[in-house]
Amino acid sequence: MSEPADTPLVPPSSVVLVSGGSRGLGLAIVTDLLDAGVRVAAFARTITPELEKLAAEHPDRVHVGSVDVTDLRAAQSFVREVEQRLGPIDGIVNNAAMGQDSLHAHTATDDIARIIETNLTAPLQLTRLVIRRMLAKGLRGRIVNITSICGQRGFPGLVAYSATKGGMDAATRSLARELGGRMLVNSVAPGFFASEMSAVLGPTQLDQIVRRTPTGHLTEPEEVTPVVRMLLREHTNINGQVIVVDGAAAI
Amino acid sequence: MNELSRTQIRDLMAQVLKNQDKELPADDAAQLREIGFRSLDFSELALRVEDETGEELNFDAPGLRRIATVGDVLDFLVELQHQ
């Protein structure tokens, strides 16, 4: 069912839900959006002092909650709270994810299931939940899925993780089609960060990636946030795309 | 639980190498790099230990990266059986 869109431009998001917003890239995204004047709802399994500080600094524009992204009920009530406090959500950043660092043959089957649940099932469920509310209210909005270069290139020790990231990139394309221009849906796929999850790759592998990167350094969260902000806020016709931010390491 | 001794694991390790026409030195301090025992050989050995004991041995990669000698391999697998 693909009909020509009779749609005006999708306005910039004004209330953005960020999953996994308590540290690393998620926290950087929350900070950056607040600086841009956006109202932000952020949840994570554990609320860090950094996120608490942001909430205290912007009491009218931030709502934070301790929610495990795989707990759909908790996510649902968080979304309701957000709507009451900040207004209807018209932007989502699916950022929460868990990493992996184990060869596929030696990864426990429970761990594979947990990675898929956290990184693929949960963001699809959260997206469904929010777009249902947006569609019901006739809202237009933006969706940004934070994926990874692993969705397109192979790295040992990251098999299940890569499958989930490639899965989200594929979902991005189909969702962009399905939402018929009412919402702009894109992925941002960072290369490896010096910190956080890419502790997974080990110093030798990271050195090798740096050597192969034309810009000569691993990606920093602050190099990714402007791209996320653009996709949420600027008038572009970018839709259904995966934007890689990795200094051309994978080219 | 049916647990393999260090000596039994050493025998399995020798078999893995023998299949590639390589020899396992008697010295535990021998460097894996020098005898040509690579990470997928470690996987093969771990799976052979699993076959013998009937217990899955799952582990993360960081521990694997610290393994440099024959003794490290044996220690790692002895320890892993206790987890």
3-state secondary structure chain A: CCCCCCCCCCCCCCEEEEECCCCHHHHHHHHHHHHCCCEEEEEECCCCHHHHHHHHHCCCCEEEEECCCCCHHHHHHHHHHHHHHHCCCCEEEECCCCCCCCCHHHCCHHHHHHHHHHHHHHHHHHHHHHHHHHHHCCCCEEEEEECCHHHCCCCCCCHHHHHHHHHHHHHHHHHHHHCCCCEEEEEEEECCECCHHHHHHHHHHHHHHHHHCCCCCCECHHHHHHHHHHHHHCCCCCCCCEEEECCCCCC
Q: Is residue B37 part of a domain?
A: yes
User: Rounded to whole angstroms, what are the CA distances from A250 to A154, A192, A210, A211, B55?
Assistant: 10, 11, 11, 12, 39
Tally of structural domains, chain B: 1
CA-nearest of A58, A56, A8, A66 to A33 is A58
Mutate to test the interface with B, among A98, A103, A205 (most CBs of B within 10 A): A103
Residue B83: pLDDT band by 50, 70, 90 thresholds? confident
Domain assignment present for residue B40? The answer is yes
> What residues are paired with A40 via a beta bridge?
A16, A62
Q: How confident is the model over B53-63, as a mean pLDDT? A: 91
β-pairing verdict for A91-94 and A15-19: parallel
pLDDT tops 70 at residue B1:
no
- Chain B residues inside the 8 Å CB shell of A105: 43, 47
**What tokens does A4 get?**
């020509």
Residues A25, A222 contacting (CB under 8 angstroms): no
Q: What is the mean pLDDT of residues B51-67?
A: 91
Helix, strand, coil content of chain B in percent (nearest 5):
60, 0, 40
Task: Say how many C-beta atoms besides its own lie within 10 A of residue A55's C-beta.
Answer: 18
pLDDT tens, position by position, B16-36: 999 999 999 999 999 999 999
Query: What's the confidence (pLDDT) of residue A199?
Result: 55
User: Chain B partners of A202 at a C-beta cutoff of 8 Å?
Assistant: 61-62, 65
Nearest CA in chain A to B80: A106
- The per-residue pLDDT for A1 is 55
For residue A161, indicate whether it is catalytic. Answer: yes
| pTM exceeds cut of 0.90 | yes
Which helix or strand (DSSP H or E) is residue B78 part of?
helix B70-81
- Inspect the interface and report whether the beta carbons of B43 and A111 lie closer than 8 Å: no
Domain architecture of chain A: domains with CATH? 15-245 (3.40.50.720)
C-beta atoms of B43 and A107 within 8 A: no
Of chain A residues 94-123, which have a CB less than 8 A from chain B? 101-103, 105-108, 111
ipTM over 0.95: no
Q: Which parts of chain A register pLDDT below 50?
A: none
Domain housing B39: 6-81
A202 to B60: CB separation less than 8 angstroms, yes or no: no
Query: Is residue B1 in a domain?
Result: no
In a mutagenesis test of the A interface, which of B64, B67, B76 is the best target, namely the one with the most A β-carbons within 10 Å? B64
Which domain CATH number covers B47?
A: 1.10.1200.10
The whole-angstrom distance between B40's CA and the closest CA on chain A is 10
pLDDT at A164: 98
Distance (Å) from the alpha carbon of B46 to chain A's nearest alpha carbon: 9
| B59:A105 CB<8 A | no
* Minimum distance, in Å, between the CA of residue A153 and any CA atom of chain B: 19
- Does residue B21 sit within a domain? yes
A200 contact residues in B (CB cutoff 8 A): 61
* B58 contacts A107? CB cut-off 8 A: yes
Catalytic site residue from A43, A161, A192, A193: A161
Residue (of A120, A129, A155) closest to A72 by Cα position:
A129
Q: Which residues in B lie closer than 8 A to residue A157 (C-beta atoms)?
A: 61
Q: What is the pLDDT of residue A218?
A: 92
Whether residue B15 lies inside any domain: the answer is yes
Q: Chain B: which residues have CB within 8 Å of chain A? A: 39, 43, 46-47, 56-62, 64-65
Identify the pLDDT of residue A7.
63
Does the distance separating the beta carbons of A103 and B43 come in below 8 Å?
Answer: yes
Give a yes or no: residue B52 inside a domain.
yes
A73 touching B (Cβ < 8 Å): no
B60 interaction partners in chain A (CB closer than 8 Å): 101-102
What does the pLDDT read at residue A216? Answer: 93
Work out the pLDDT band at B64, boundaries 50, 70, 90: confident
